[in-house]
Amino acid sequence: MDDRMYDFVVVGAGPAGSHFAHKSAELGNEIIVLEGGKIGAPLSCSGHVSLDLWEYISDKNKSKLIQNEIFGARFHVKGVDGKAHTFYKNEPISNVIDRIELDRCLAKMAIDSGVEIKERHTVIGVKELKEKVVVKVRGPSGKEELDTKMVVGCDGPNSRVRRSLKLQEPKELLHGILGFDSTVDFGNFVDVYLNVPRFFSWRIPRGNAGVEYGIAGGADIDIIGEFEKLIDSQSVQIENRCSGMIPIGPPTSVSTKRGFLIGDAAGQTKPFTGGGIVYGLIASECAANVVNSDRTETIGIYEQNWRKRIGREIEMGKWIRKGYSLPQTVQSMGLRFFSGEIGVHMDRPTSLFSREQFEVMKSSRKVK
Ligand SMILES: Cc1cc2nc3c(=O)[nH]c(=O)nc-3n(C[C@H](O)[C@H](O)[C@H](O)COP(=O)(O)OP(=O)(O)OC[C@H]3O[C@@H](n4cnc5c(N)ncnc54)[C@H](O)[C@@H]3O)c2cc1C
């Protein structure tokens, strides 16, 4: 029987949970992280991230994680055989990383700052009371209850904490599938195929880890069938497959008096790619910086701060995603206009209208 009163019980040891725990423990808080499975497993993510990731990871760990450097993307409008519109920088824009190792690395940083992480401990219920939260857990030695001043739901797209606290679900859940071909490929471009209604499929060169093919789409799409078509069109042998859900569109509130959500549980993803690793890390830091477990009103500051940091980017990302549903001729015209060298940051779609983007387009004579 654990009779401690934690400052925070964190549910889920993905990037959001481990990073929040790490940063908050550094401020002296007593924290336990409960992870239903094993850290990093099972894989259901491409691990394609902007260079901003490295603000959260030491140089020593960086070299362990990187699989490949990416300089740009080729967009294919008419299925996999269509003409490609290339967007690039003359320097790396992003990295393809070992996602399992990322989760382990962030968890180790949390442990080193004094956090206890318990794997194979699934949270089966959360009860919010006036003075505390009771977290019900099922672990290898049976069920137990933990008392905490606040609960933090970092338990991914199908968040149990979100349901228990009766918070709104994300606006949409996409289903994503990945498969890996063992061909070594250090190419510097990802391919994006605009051949799925309202989303896309992709090909990512992962260096020695092979080539990844993936697809995501809404519940109305036969995503397994579409994945098989993608694989057939590429004539490749797929060895491992995995899948996962991608929440799109954060609800208007991700918190209660003594509970709050971070990462996929809060729908903090890019609507036009589904990527959520960096947004989850940004939001974790927003929460760790301001939420004081003895002052429930500080949760409201987290709500404000994470929306200030990434809210506009998410809104802009929704507009970009609308482009996936335009007629192919209009898509081609738009892609032709913006293609070539770019000054855009992949996590900040508002940078499409930045001075840097304008200067790059001007120098490549597209804008007078
Ligand atoms: C196919 C696919 C491809 C993707 N590709 C990219 C990409 O290239 N780049 C990118 O940035 N993002 C990508 N994403 C999104 C990215 O994986 C997520 O945004 C990111 O993992 C969110 O981190 P998180 O910590 O919020 O949640 P998660 O990583 O989902 O971690 C949640 C953790 O909570 C645990 N958990 C769940 N329920 C419970 C419970 N009841 N009790 C205890 N533990 C629990 C889970 O086991 C898990 O470890 C992709 C997603 C999919 C599905």
242-260 residue pLDDT tens: 999 999 999 999 999 999 9
Measured from the CB, is residue 126 less than 6 Å from ligand 1?
no
Q: How many angstroms is it from 242 CA to the middle of ligand 1?
A: 13
Are 70 and 96 in contact by the 8 Å Cβ rule? The answer is yes
Residue 258, Cβ density class (10 Å: 0-12 exposed, 13-18 middle, ≥19 buried): buried
Which is the closest atom of ligand 1 to the Cα of 39? 49
Q: What is the dihedral of CA 259, 263, 267, 273, to 10 degrees?
A: 180
Any domain includes 344: no
Position 57 scores a pLDDT of: 95
Ligand 1, atom nearest to 242 Cα: 1
Question: Which residue CA neighbors atom 18 of ligand 1 most closely?
Answer: 276
> Is residue 358 in some structural domain?
no
CA-nearest residue, atom 37 of ligand 1: 155
Nearest-atom number in ligand 1 for the CA of 265 is 26
Choose one of 45, 65, 346, 347 to mutate for the ligand 1 pocket test, by most ligand atoms within 8 angstroms of C-beta: 45
Say whether pLDDT at 204 is over 90: yes
In a domain, 112, yes or no: yes
Counting residues of the chain whose pLDDT is more than 90, the rounded percentage is 83
Q: State how many domains the chain has.
A: 1
Residue 183 lies in a domain: yes
d(CA 13, CA 104): 9
Q: What pLDDT is stored for residue 86 in this prediction?
A: 95
Kindly report the pTM of this predicted structure: 0.96
Say if ligand 1 is within 6 A of residue 254 CB.
no
The answer to whether residue 368 scores a pLDDT higher than 50 is: no
263 CB within 6 A, ligand 1: yes
Residue with CA nearest ligand 1 atom 13: 275
304 within domain boundaries: yes
Q: For residue 5, which phi and psi values (nearest 5 degrees)? A: -110, 105
Name the residue range of residue 229's domain: 5-321
Tokens 């809404």 label which residue?
218
What CATH number did the domain enclosing 313 receive?
A: 3.50.50.60
Residue 290 lies in a domain: yes
Residue 353 lies in a domain: no
- Residue 42: CB within 6 Å of ligand 1? no
Per-residue pLDDT of 52-76, as tens digits, reads: 999 999 888 999 999 999 999 999 9
Residues 29-61, buried b or exposed e (16+ Cβ, 10 A)?
bbbbbbbbeebbeebbbbbbbbbbbbebbeeeb
Instruction: Please tell me the distance from the alpha carbon of residue 269 to that of residue 275, in angstroms, as a whole number.
Output: 6
Does any ligand 1 atom lie closer than 6 A to the CB of residue 277? yes
136-192 per-position pLDDT tens digit:
999 999 999 999 999 999 999 999 999 999 999 999 999 999 999 999 999 999 999
Beta bridge partners of 173: 247
Beta-bridge mates of residue 292: 295
pLDDT greater than 50 at residue 320: yes
User: Is residue 157 one of the residues assigned to a domain?
Assistant: yes
